[in-house]
Chain A
Amino acid sequence: MSAAMDTESTYSGYSHYSGHSKKAHRQGRDRHKSPRSKDGSRSEKSVTIQTPPAEPLLGNDASQAEEGQDDNWGETTTAITGTSEHSISQEDIARISKDLEDSVGLDCKRYLGLTVAAVLGLLVFLTPIAFILLPQILWRDDLEPCGTVCEGLFISVAFKLLILLIGTWALFFRQPKADLPRVFVFRALLLVLIFLFVFSYWLFYGVRILDSKDTNYQGIVQYAVSLVDALLFIHYLAIVLLELRQLQPMFTVKVVRSTDGESRYYSLGHLSIQRAALVVLENYYRDFTVYNPALLTASKSRAAKHMAGLKVYNVDGPGNNASGQSRAMIAAAARRRDSSHNELYYEEADHERRVKKRRARLVVAVEEAFTHIKRLQAEEQQKAPGEMMDPREAAQAIFPSMARALQKYLRTTRQQQYHSMESILQHLSFCITNNMTPKAFLERYLNPGPTLQYDRDRWFSKQWTLVSEEAVTSGLQDGIVFVLKCLDFSLVVNVKKIPFIKLSEEFIDPKSHKFVLRLQSETSV
């Protein structure tokens, strides 16, 4: 029987490699293995987990473990829990299944909108050309000759159409950075406006010019030019609505992460809620420190202890006084003299001391390691060709002396999953190549950085959902709250309007700055 695992996932890929690194040092070989590969062949005990879509989750694992399986494998296979190297928790399963679902495709909605807009754009683009060419094709002989004026108008139409083409591409058809839930209201309105506009032009053209076979060619060309001018003005309107209106800051937005309370403030202009969410998310990856679930275990265990404190037993039979019961429990818990605050204080002080100590050891070890390397200048490179190494080899040479201190530090600050040995070696050779000091090398490990700094696999936050009480295409207003949820945490966004600032002026004459001494003499008589 297969079972889903509830054990905490420990991607301690780095610790798995500490032994390897020592061996490598001794034997002079190195192994370039990514610890992130869910390679079933490395784990001695493999686990197959059944999820609702009824397909094996670890696809590559299953293919290797399933030699000689029969149709009754569901009943006859035993699952080994908790002892394999790659254990997966309930959250990971949900995350992986969600990834599978969503990647298949809500893209058709986006492509539909894009094709409609492209078709419309093409029609609109070809309309002035059609206006000019149709009389030439249909009743060429009757047309009045039109000299330099028309040629000037042709050139201006050509250039204006070129500008329109580039402008429209720049505004509407560039690669979108993100996939938003609802259609852009302003874009849709603009498309409708353009459609109506061009439609009315065609109507007039059809009635006044095609039917009556107007011979005044200059007038026809001017009609086409007026259409292009009006389209340029609509394009200008589009620029103002879609780009300029959002530039001036009108709202201040506070973003708080639900798990640890880290917060930031941003300034936004007039945006719809979905676009504001997009801006917040783009800044989230740069400004917020990476989400580390290992840091939350302490508060979770404290919460569990609080809950386990009191138990309520119903002695008098089935009572339905549930609210009274819970209130009694809370009151009793409050009265109980517990010393958990004491524990917390000493634990935190102890942890801080330990971190500082390990940090000191790490800094010393890295500084010492860096002194073993010297950069060879160009002349020296020819003179001493003996032991020359490229940055990668140099990094591998000094890495073992600091590996242990670094590993211990990362363990203490619970960051060990974010840095694999390979990434550390890469960073080390990068720093060596760019003449960085030990402190610059350590900057990445001493402080948790923004999410962008780390490997995509460790992000915990790739699929976002916008939860909002107002329609997501409505604009931002003062007091709106919306939530950006991903699987493990959420960002709560609170919108506040920037206050109206009344600024008045006061003129100070530069000559009016006068001073007097504050004296305090004492004279003896």
Chain B
Amino acid sequence: PSHHNTEYFLSLQQRIEIHKLRQGDNLILGFSIGGGIDQDPTQNPFSEDKTDKGIYVTRVTEGGPAEVAGLQIGDKIMQVNGWDMTMVTHDQARKRLTKRNEEVVRLLVTRQSLQKAVQQSMMS
């Protein structure tokens, strides 16, 4: 487990592999992202720390590739195919996810429910 922004949080990460779905001319992943270093972090409903400018999953389409792969709403995306996503602009994040020549994206995400589960198990 690596350390997150503050030393109080455990960060547990999960690797998720999404296979893109072809819809016409586009390859879609089936979720929406919000956040970025050029965005306003205080309006992010999913972040615990309101100065966190990372990329968060704001919506997951039902039955889409992301849901199938296990991505959940509120997840913070830390890496995409090895590229760091914690200090990127919104548009850069979008570009990294929608590269035309990639059919599979491997995401490293962190999730608060994971943290809470670990904390509870640590306390009990």
Contacts and interface: CB of A to CB of B under 8 A. Distances in A.
Contact of B97 (A518, A521, A525): A525
B59 A524 contact: yes
Contact of B43 (A518, A523, A525): A518
B33 A525 contact: yes
Interface in A496-525: 518-525
Contacts of A518: 40, 43
A525 B34 contact: no
Given A524-B59, A525-B28, A519 B34 contact: no
A523 to B, nearest CB: 5
B105 to A, nearest CB: 9
Nearest to A519: B39
Contact of B31 (A519, A520, A521, A524): A524
Interface string A394-425: 00000000000000000000000000000000
Contacts of B58: 522
A524 to B, nearest CB: 4
Contacts of B44: 520
Interface in B68-103: 90, 94, 97-98
Interface bin, chain A: under 10
Contacts of B32: 522-525
Tell me the dominant secondary structure on chain A's binding face.
loop
A525 B31 contact: yes
Given A525-B94, A525-B98, A520 B29 contact: no
Interface of A: 518-525
Contacts of B49: none
Contacts of A525: 28-29, 31-33, 94, 97-98
B59 A520 contact: no
Contact of A520 (B43, B94, B98): B43
Range for the number of chain B residues in contact with chain A: 10 to 19
Contacts, number: 39
B18 to A, nearest CB: 10
Nearest to B26: A525
B89 to A, nearest CB: 10
B33 A523 contact: yes
B39 A520 contact: yes
Nearest to B97: A525
A19 to B, nearest CB: 75
A54 B51 CA distance: 91
A519 B97 CA distance: 20
Contacts of A519: 38-40, 90
Given A518-B40, A518-B43, A523 B90 contact: yes
Most buried by A among B31, B40, B43, B44: B40
Nearest to B58: A522
A523 B38 contact: no
Nearest to A522: B34
A470 B115 CA distance: 75
Q: State the 4 A-B residue pairs at the shortest beta-carbon distance, nearest first.
A: A518-B40, A524-B32, A525-B97, A520-B43
B65 to A, nearest CB: 10
A215 B2 CA distance: 115
Interface in B91-123: 94, 97-98
B39 A521 contact: yes
A524 B38 CA distance: 17
B22 to A, nearest CB: 14
Contacts of B38: 519
A404 B6 CA distance: 80
A521 B90 contact: yes
A46 B40 CA distance: 89
Contacts of A524: 28, 31-33, 59, 61
Given A522-B58, A525-B29, 5 more contacts: A519-B90, A523-B32, A523-B90, A524-B59, A525-B31
7 contacts: A519-B40, A519-B90, A520-B34, A520-B39, A521-B90, A522-B59, A524-B31
A36 to B, nearest CB: 72
A525 to B, nearest CB: 5
Interface in B1-46: 28-29, 31-34, 36, 38-40, 43-44
B9 to A, nearest CB: 24
